[in-house]
Chains A and B, each alone.
Chain A
């Protein structure tokens, strides 16, 4: 049954607060904890279990792990079938294959059946790095967000990831959680409690508010420090829950902003930038600038180089804000 031999080692972790680590690592460890607590948890992978970190679970619970091989469409269907017999399946592969190759399976079989499937994809965004465009999902959030009934979560750090995985388990219905490959800094405070559909305001700015998710939350926080020092009152909010969108918090932010910046490791088309634009343009129009990849594929490079190359940095956020006020 889905034998996995690789170098992943299990670590005991119950508290991810303050840990700088890749969100996929937090996932792998959390899954094992979850597996111990809940016998209904089953995990599926499509021949990437060492990279997605589901191999940890496979090693601990071989009977509840199903490697489906390089067949993402089948994996999603099998996950739906498992869900329909009362299991709570977590299906993992790279974000582009999960949401791209199996999009219609997710729409038709998972969401239209309201099957309780959790799709946790790793390698979201540009920080996949050297593998290049074929493996860098810059459209996955958009693809998942358009499907009725789908919940879409982009956690900012390990602490939030672990919480989001637990929340997804308690919630009944399809969930997409997008994780990353590279190490990310800890950003969420110790008393933070993740809730599906709830955004977190670090600080409400009177001039500018930066709405970010994923690793861009850390960049937003860096940018806000500089901007505040320079006299532009800047706030930051983590909108890890792309869908459902926390409209109440968004309205509050819009009412307090001369400018809203969105920042995401995703195309500016269809992600949190689009979601925010859609809402505020209908409800409380405020000038906006979206930071993300601009209708382009990624390319090879180290992940740090790529973040710079595509402007997914605190520096670009600062520049964008200053350019706006200089107009």
Chain B
């Protein structure tokens, strides 16, 4: 039995850490970190095999945060998993910190690859999936993409590679929050119909509510049973999810909460159902 309530509570804690570390840093990406919190929680606290005491464990599942600007959600998940002390989150974006503005694998155990330049992570995930298969290691690779990010051509090169090499140990998740920096994806550069595109590229596609933990868990589980092709979970999400003043607003893409906004956020996140 999956303890959905436990995962929902973890998600709430992760959102709390995200807004706190961002407000403390005074800069960073709020909206896209919050929208991905449920997905990342399901991966780190339910689905993935990993060992915070042994980050290089060869049998571990891999997570590639292709949308690297959502570093805070990754850092929160790593801290709450026990990769490092939670107090380190206070150093986010500060000189000398291993918690760089965008994740750097050279600095921080638990980060699999450096990301932040959009569009590159799915290729790396393909390489990892190939490498694991070649080594006979029965681990899975997860890759989180942004919906604006998939405007990058390289994503589609990688989409071809994943299906050409039948990478069924690869599962991509699209944080489909419909917003990017300059506004709605549909205004900036339409990506729809996203499901049809991946289907046409030879992928197995699920569409779920990316804030419904049961649906996330189910999709991750079923994805594992699909053989012969990669899976993408198109997760319908709300940018800034969990804090009413950030929700659905493009302008909270790349700004940190102010002191006042943090107070509102913490109140909502502690009382709310997340």
Contacts and interface: CB of A to CB of B under 8 A. Distances in A.
Contacts of B117: 104, 108-109
B123 A78 contact: yes
Contacts, number: 117
B120 interface: yes
Interface in B25-63: 58, 62
Contacts of B222: none
B89 interface: no
Given A69-B160, A74-B154, A80 B113 contact: yes
A85 B131 contact: yes
Interface string A39-77: 000100000000000000000000110101101011111
B184 interface: no
Given A42-B134, A64-B134, A87-B131, A113 B120 contact: no
B274 to A, nearest CB: 33
B114 A112 contact: yes
A114 interface: yes
A81 B106 contact: no
A85 B126 contact: no
B154 A78 contact: no
Contacts of A71: 154, 157, 160-161
Nearest to A112: B114
A122 interface: no
A81 B124 contact: yes
A7 interface: no
A113 B114 contact: yes
A89 B231 CA distance: 25
Contacts of A109: 113-115, 117, 120, 123-124
Contacts of A114: 105-106
B146 to A, nearest CB: 16
Contact of B120 (A68, A87, A108): A108
Classify the interface of chain A: helix, strand, loop or mixed.
helix
Classify the interface of chain B: helix, strand, loop or mixed.
helix
Given A81-B131, A83-B127, A109-B124, A73 B154 contact: yes
A79 interface: yes
Given A71-B160, A77-B158, A104-B117, A113 B105 contact: yes
Contact of A82 (B114, B127, B154, B158): B127
Interface residues of A, number: 32
Contacts of B113: 80-81, 84, 109, 113, 115
Nearest to A104: B117
Contacts of A63: 134
A108 B154 CA distance: 14
Taking each of B115, B122, B135, B157, which has the highest tally of chain A beta carbons within 10 Å of its own beta carbon?
B157
A68 B126 CA distance: 11
Contacts of A74: 123, 126, 154, 157-158, 160-161
Given A73-B123, A85-B132, A108-B114, A78 B106 contact: no
A86 B135 contact: yes
Interface string B42-86: 000000000000000010001000000000000000000000000
A86 B154 CA distance: 23
B129 interface: yes
A81 B161 CA distance: 13
Contact of A86 (B114, B131, B153, B160): B131
8 contacts: A1-B165, A71-B154, A71-B161, A75-B123, A78-B161, A86-B131, A108-B120, A112-B114
Interface of A: 1, 42, 63-64, 66, 68-69, 71, 73-87, 89, 104-105, 108-109, 112-115
Task: Give 4 nearest A-B pairs by CB, closest first.
Answer: A81-B127, A77-B123, A85-B131, A74-B157
Interface of B: 58, 62, 104-106, 112-117, 120-132, 134-135, 137, 153-154, 157-158, 160-161, 164-165
